[in-house]
Amino acid sequence: MTLGSTENPENIQVKTAQRFKDNVESESDGAISVEVAAGGSYGSVEEIADLVSQNVVQMSVGGFLPIDRYASEYYFVDSPFVIEDYEHISNLVQSEKFQPARDQLKERGNQNIIGKPIYRGFRHFTSNKPIRSPEDVQGLNLRLPQLDTWIAVWEEIGASPTPVALDELYSALQQGVADASEGDIQQINSQSLYEVQSHVSLTSHLLSCGTMTINNDFYTGLDETHRETIDEAVNEATEWGASQGQSAEEDLIQEVADQGVELIEDVDQEAFREAGRPAVDQLFEGEWAETWDYWRDV
């Protein structure tokens, strides 16, 4: 089986995938072999999600993009200013309330989320100037993935979103196609963005987590013993990845600061939340399932 990811090998998600590979190959005595194809060798996150749907690639590790692609009513799980902390997201995606999202992902995308969310860290800004308040992002060409919900929130705050694929992020910042980016500290570090941006501002606007998905046809076609082996291997690996991601976050922030960027810690995070709230409320009213209060109570 092949497991695809756009992330580089040093990213916690790929390290988690490698741990899963080691676990499952060992526990199955080599009956199940796993190729971890990192670094976007199978294309963008969207392309990998589609390849998993088609069973060309059997598994993936990345963000919640498959939810956006196949169960978009539930994509609030990976949108700014909704999720409070890791306990919240972990409880939510494993709750009965979230089962309709899993059902839609299986029905429309022929894949399942397996294991626990992999903690990547809160997302922050990289830029060539300090970002302390919403006023600092007015008109700023902000690199974002091509996600309409994210774009809506940052347009509400006043930025000028510039959609750029992850594998083009470094060059977009280097060449001035975008003025700034946002991402978790794993992404900032693994993409070496400190080479092309002078400031990292701790906006903490979104808790970024990875997920592992598996093609439903492939999974259900395995015998029960091999399914149990995969379940146990992925549960251990994702729990390890979540723990590693949380313990490494502060060290990674310091590593990035040690590269010479200016770390901006006095960010008015509440002002950002308030500035983005009208867009979040509108998304719950129009596109997302239920309400913010419904999902806070899990």
What class, spelled out in words, does domain 2-290 have in CATH?
A: alpha beta
* pLDDT at residue 146, as a whole number: 85
DSSP string, 111-123: EEEEEEEEEEEEE
What 3-state class would DSSP assign to 271?
helix
Distance, in Å, from the CA atom of 185 to the CA atom of 236, rounded to the nearest integer, reads 23
Distance separating alpha carbons of residues 229 and 32, to the nearest angstrom: 9
Mark 123-141 as b/e (b = at least 16 C-beta within 10 Å). bbbbbebbbbbbebbeebb
Domain parsing of the chain, residue ranges: 2-290
Nearest to 57 by CA among 75, 72, 38: 38
Tell me the C-alpha to C-alpha distance, in Å, between residue 203 and each of 145, 186, 266. Answer: 18, 15, 9
Q: How many CB atoms lie within 10 A of CB 213?
A: 30
157-209 per-position pLDDT tens digit: 999 999 998 889 999 999 999 999 999 998 898 899 999 999 999 999 999 99
pTM for the whole structure? 0.85
Report pLDDT for 96: 96
* Tens of pLDDT, residues 80-99: 999 999 999 999 999 999 99
